[in-house]
Amino acid sequence: MPVGRQPLHGQVAAEMRKAIARGKWKPGAKIPTEPELTERYGVSRATVRQAVAALRAEGLLDVRQGSGTYVREPQATVDAVFISRTVHLASDGTFTCPSGWEAKEKATAYAVRLEPCPAALLRLDEGEAALLVDRLIIHQPTGNLARHSMLLPMERITTTSLAAEPDVCATEAYRQLAAAHGPLMWDDGVTARMPNPDESATLRVPAGSPLLITERLTQSQSGERLMLETLTTGATGIHMVYTHHPQPAD
C-alpha cells in the first residue's frame, strides 16, 4: 500500500480505481470479497467498506445484495426525450400540446374519493367524489413509457360530458373545462422519487434511475381548480421544456 497524507480508505480506493482503469477488474466482473481485499491491502474491513462506498458514489461499483460487489458496466446511450409542457389555444377554441406521445393502451376510468394531498391541491375537502382517468403512453421515436392520469372532481365537471365520457385526451378535457368555466391557466410542478417495483417494471425504468413526476393544475381565471394531471416517467434522458410568454404586470 502507498503511504501518504491521503486517508487510508482513499489510498485503498485509489488502488481499486487503478485495477478498474487498467482492466484488471473488467466491467460486469465481480471484484474480490471484503476479506480478500482486507488481506490484499493490509487494512481493516471498515477501511475496505469506506473505499467501496467511495467507488460506489463515483459510479464505478455496484453492490448486489447477497451476491457481491461488481464493476459497473458502461451505461448504454439513451436517446433524449423532450417533453414540451406548452399549451396552445387555437382560434376555434381547441387546445394542442406538442407531444410525440401516443396511447399504448385504452384509458381506464375509476370513481374515487379525494385523498388528503390531491384534495389540498384542488382546494376541496378530503373524501369528495372524483374521476381518475389513467393511461399508459409511449414515446414512439424512443420507446419510452409514461403513465398519464387526470383527476377530475365531480363537482367541477357536472356541466361537461366528462362524467359520462371520461376517456378523452388532456386537450379535449381542457376544451370542455374552458367551455364550462371560461379561460384556463395552468400551474406545473416537478418532483422526483425512486420507483417501486411495479413502476420499474411497467415503465421499464433502468436500475438506479428515479422517476420524474410532473403535476399540472388546470384552473379557471378566477382560481377555481378544475383538474389535476400527473405524468410519471423514468428520469433518464428526459428533458422538460417550458415556453414562457411574458405578460405586462397589472
The residue segments making up the domain with residue 44 are: 8-71
Residue 3 lies in a domain: no
Q: Clarify whether residues 66 and 86 are in a common domain.
A: no
Instruction: List the chain pLDDT tens, one digit each, 250 residues.
Output: 554 567 899 999 999 999 998 889 999 899 999 999 999 999 999 999 999 999 988 878 988 878 899 998 776 555 677 777 788 888 887 888 766 788 888 889 999 999 999 999 999 999 999 999 999 998 887 888 999 999 999 999 999 999 999 889 899 999 999 999 999 999 999 999 999 989 988 998 877 789 999 999 999 999 999 999 999 999 887 887 777 666 555 5
Same domain, 58 and 122: no
Residue 89 and residue 44 in one domain = no
Same domain membership, residue 110 and residue 199: yes
Domain boundary among 20, 49, 71: 71
Strand extents, DSSP E, the chain: 61-64, 68-71, 81-84, 88-89, 95-96, 101-103, 108-113, 129-139, 144-153, 184-193, 211-220, 225-234, 238-241
Nearest to 88 by CA among 157, 178, 158: 178
- Do 52 and 115 lie in a common domain? no
SS3 (DSSP) at 133: strand
- The answer on 85 and 65 residing in a single domain is no
What is the identity of the amino acid at 122?
L
Domain stop point among 71, 100, 121: 71
Residue 97 has what pLDDT? Answer: 76
Tell me: do 137 and 54 sit in the same domain.
no
Handedness of CA 32, 35, 37, 39 (dihedral sign): negative
Question: Contact, 234 vs 204, CB < 8 A?
Answer: yes
Domain boundary among 42, 71, 100: 71
pTM tops 0.75: no
Is there a single domain that holds both residue 87 and residue 60?
A: no
